[in-house]
Amino acid sequence: MIEPDRPHHDVAPGEAPLDSDGIAASVWGYLIGLALAGGLSIASFVIPTSGLVWAPAIPVAFIVFAIAQMGVHLVFFLHITTGPDNTNNVLALAFGVLIVFLVMAGSLWIMDHLNHNMAPMSQIMSMQR
């Protein structure tokens, strides 16, 4: 909820102002988010085939589009903003990102060190005879 003494221009895109006309303003916010998300999705299909981006930079463009897509979803659909009443949401999101990072880093570490624990191929082949 927004404080009444906060000016209207100090409102984040996903945060509905108190003086708005209710449902119409929130639907408008969702439509803006839908348009941005759809545009980013279409752009990620068009970029590799159009030749607008230098071919080795296409993965970087995909990463930029993915980060922008996550930002659009967080702000317009999940309403994660920097408002004072969203502190718990931001902390929950940060904890979730930490958990995903730890799972990915642990998986990569296990896959990288898995080869060191394997027997040599010649020894495996001799055991099968």
Residue 67 tokens read as 């980060």
Rounded Cα distance between 88 and 101, Å, is 20
- Residue 4 has what pLDDT? 55
Q: How many residues does the chain have?
A: 129
Segment 36-56, tens digit of pLDDT? 999 999 999 999 999 899 999
Rounded Cα distance between 51 and 19, Å, is 46
Residue 5 tokens read as 């003494």
User: What's the pTM value of the predicted model, to 2 decimals?
Assistant: 0.62
- Residue 11 has what pLDDT? 62
Lowest-pLDDT range of 14-18, 54-58, 112-116: 14-18
